[in-house]
Amino acid sequence: MLRIGVLGAGRIGQVHARAIASVPGAHFAALAEPMEAVAKQVQADYGCDLRSIDQIAASDDIDAVIICTPTDTHADLIEQFAKAGKAVFCEKPVDLDLARVQRCLKTVADTGATLMLGFQRRYDPDFNALRKAIGDGRIGEVEMVTLTSRDPGAPPLDYIDRSGGIFRDMTIHDFDVARWMLGEEVETVYASASVLTDPAIAKHGDYDSANVTMRTASGKHCTITNSRRATYGYDQRIEVHGSKGSVSAENTLEANITVADADGYHRPPTLDFFMTRYMAAYANEIAAFVKAVTEKSSPPTTGEDGLRALALAEAALLSIKERREVRVDEILPG
């Protein structure tokens, strides 16, 4: 039985709490949450202890932690708990600063602690079925990956300031999926972005519409299309074209029904919230963490994955600034 402490009981913390409850072999032992009312409610629902972060770090009866605190605390907490001998699951990103991420990963490596990064899309059943079709050789050699990723609406402007912008916050998931699908590291990055939904986003130095083209050393391509606006829901599609065929994953609609009338055929919108769209993925993700820690194997999504996705985001930002193709080794040498 893996005894888990959860740090932070905000929206995503509660998603993980529920996931722990559903995973055989996992026990939600303790929660650290500064807002007392929230902490008490979670305790009532799951029967966990309430402790401070430092208490959890010092607890002998905690094997692993799930870090769901604000982004700017991630790197410090990862280091603290790795040093304390706990296995660590941390929501992406480790940090918005590439150098800080590298230092953190070095610290973790020195401790030998397990560190898993929360890229939930890698645990989505449909995306896994798609990835398996590639692995099974059904499309031959991968040639072109096309990722379409659109949020239903823009986040609050103050979140934009904290998030590091669209590439570090939203596209970062696509960068990770791209690496997963390409099966080969990206060599060059080109990005183009604009503001089409709300001029206030431009004032905050960010974009709401972006396209990224990446190429690997062997000539494989990946294109990413992002928007902060999609009236029809949370648009999350993958298409991978290969030498023998193609495989795609479509959106998940609110219900699998069709109404036909004089205007034609109508289907419901796609699920419009990451917690409903990726509900199964979040549960699978925690199960994968528990499995990796229990079996002492490497987790499917590591700190290195977080670092490389962030480097692609940095490359995209440099590309926009200089209006040119950027080599990833300009950002992350050798």
CA distance 6 to 29: 8
Assess 333 for contact with a copy of itself (CB under 8 A).
Answer: no
**Window contacting a copy of itself (CB under 8 A); options: 86-94, 167-175, 229-237, 287-295:** 229-237
Question: Which residues, numbered 193-222, are part of the site for a copy of itself (CB under 8 A)?
Answer: 194-197, 209, 211, 213, 215, 218-221
61: three-class secondary structure by DSSP:
coil
CA distance 128 to 280: 12
Query: Closest approach of Cβ 271 to a copy of itself, in Å?
Result: 11
- String of contacts with a copy of itself for each residue 98-137, x by CB under 8 A: ---------------------------xx--xx--x----
Nearer to a copy of itself, 109 or 129 (CB): 129
Tokens representing 253? 């609609």
Nearer to a copy of itself, 161 or 254 (CB): 254
Length, in residues, of the chain: 334
- String of contacts with a copy of itself for each residue 257-296, x by CB under 8 A: xxxxxxxxxxxxx---------------------------
Assess 252 for contact with a copy of itself (CB under 8 A).
Answer: yes
Query: Closest approach of Cβ 254 to a copy of itself, in Å?
Result: 7
Nearer to a copy of itself, 288 or 326 (CB): 326
Query: Closest approach of Cβ 31 to a copy of itself, in Å?
Result: 18
206: three-class secondary structure by DSSP:
coil
| Residue from 112, 244, 296, 334 binding a copy of itself (CB under 8 A) | 244
Evaluate whether 325 touches 190 at the Cβ level (below 8 Å): yes
CA distance 158 to 119: 23
Torsion of CA 325, 330, 332, 334, to 10 degrees: 110
CA distance 31 to 41: 11
β-partners of residue 189 are 214, 326
CA distance 30 to 304: 28
**Window contacting a copy of itself (CB under 8 A); options: 8-16, 109-117, 236-244, 289-297:** 236-244
Evaluate whether 165 touches 71 at the Cβ level (below 8 Å): no
Query: Closest approach of Cβ 302 to a copy of itself, in Å?
Result: 25
Assess 253 for contact with a copy of itself (CB under 8 A).
Answer: yes
DSSP string, 289-310: HHHHHHHT---SSBHHHHHHHH
Binding-site residue total for a copy of itself (CB under 8 A)? 66
- String of contacts with a copy of itself for each residue 24-53, x by CB under 8 A: ------------------------------
Tokens representing 284? 């699978």
β-partners of residue 31 are 6, 50
Tokens representing 139? 């499309």
Q: Which residues contact a copy of itself (rule: CB under 8 A)?
A: 125-126, 129-130, 133, 138-139, 141, 143-144, 146, 148, 150, 188, 190, 192, 194-197, 209, 211, 213, 215, 218-221, 223, 225, 227, 229-232, 241, 243-269, 323-325
